[in-house]
Structure 1
Amino acid sequence: MSTAMPQAPVKVSEVTTASEEIASALGMLARRLPRYSQTPTVADVQRIVDNPSTRLIIARDDDEEIVGMMTVALYSLPTGVRAWLEDVAVARSGRGIGRALTEEALRIAREGGAADAELIVQPSQTGGLKMASLMGFGPNDEDTRRIRL
């Protein structure tokens, strides 16, 4: 039995310029996230694009519709460069869109000199957990806590 996930015919690319189309699509995708709080504006997307530590990647299907997104944050610490992969959302699960986004995010992380990458997947996102496991992500040995600011 094969454990490979099906690959979607998607094109993954980094967003380099904000647009109404991208902001609207990200807003629709963000509604799938547990911590969704607002629809991003074009200015919000441009702020992400302009931040040298943050990379926004999207997946488009054959019809050029945006069907997935992921944010890659690269940051430097005294112990090395780290990558944080978050705000992963796909329009249709089980089609390899998340995997294609994650593969590109890991390429960006390696290119940026990251020693490791953390992928944020909520326990309720069973498809995301399966994909992460198949790609080699394991449980983190650190106990992460979050505070709302």
Structure 2
Amino acid sequence: MDIQIKEITNYTPEIKNTIGHFLKLLQSNDRGISDHQLKEIISSENSYLFFAANTYDVYMGMLTVGIYQSPTGKKAWIEDVVVDETFRGQGIGENLIAFAIQFARQRQVDILTLTSSPARVAANNLYKKIGFQPKETNVYRMTLINDCHA
């Protein structure tokens, strides 16, 4: 299967609906994404949104790369990796991650990080296969949510 990774640089209702579909697969709540949120991601200098598409321009998967500079180096996070159920097991996730690694290298990122739920066994196996190593650390999270998403 021919897989193309496309950076999303323009807002369209189709892109918003596609992200909403992917988010339903990724998380249990069904908040979707607002026009404002999507436009902010697209216009950000530090956030990069990518879709995997086939030759018929069917979107099969998504991921986001966030890049930032800290005193300990230039870092990037891979976020929101998801592949549509129809296309799982066909190398879409691996292609997305490989693309993100190359993308980060081109931007001279020192450290590339991602997190994954232990319940996502296939995803965790993929990340280890590609060369990511579990980090001995505690990850802490505080949700600061604005309920005004429209």
Asked whether the two chains share a fold, i.e. TM above 0.5, the reply is: yes
Distance 1:120 1:33 in 2: 13
Q: Do residues 32 (structure 1) and 32 (structure 2) align?
A: no
1:141 counterpart residue number: 136
Report the Cα distance in structure 1 between the residues aligned to 2:117 and 2:138, rounded to whole angstroms.
15
* Alignment partner of 1:124 is 2:119: yes
Count of residue pairs the alignment pairs up: 142
Q: CA deviation at 1:40?
A: 1.6
| RMSD of equivalent CA atoms | 1.5
Q: Do structure 1's residue 74 and structure 2's residue 95 form an aligned pair? A: no
The structure with more helix, counted as a fraction of residues = 2
Q: Which residue of 1 aligns with 2:4?
A: 11
What residue is the counterpart of 1:49 in the other structure? 42
Aligned to 1:94: 89
Deviation readout 1:45-92 (Å, 9 max, x if unpaired): 221011101100110123211110001000110111011001001003
Tell me how far 1:18 sits from its aligned partner: 1.4
Instruction: Say which SS state the counterpart of residue 9 (structure 1) adopts.
Output: coil
Instruction: State the alpha-carbon separation in 1 of the partners of residues 28 and 73 from structure 2.
Output: 28
TM-score under structure 2 normalisation?
A: 0.87
2:73–2:111 Cα contact (<8 Å) kept: no
CA distance in structure 1 between the partners assigned to 2:100 and 2:11 by the alignment: 19
What is the TM-score with the length of structure 1 in the denominator?
0.88
Distance in 2, matches of 1:38 and 1:80, equals 34
Report the AA paired with residue 127 of structure 1.
A
Name the stretch that deviates more: 104-113 or 24-33.
104-113
Write the distance in 2 (CA, Å) between the matches of 1:87 and 1:140.
19
What is the Cα deviation at residue 37 of structure 1? 4.5
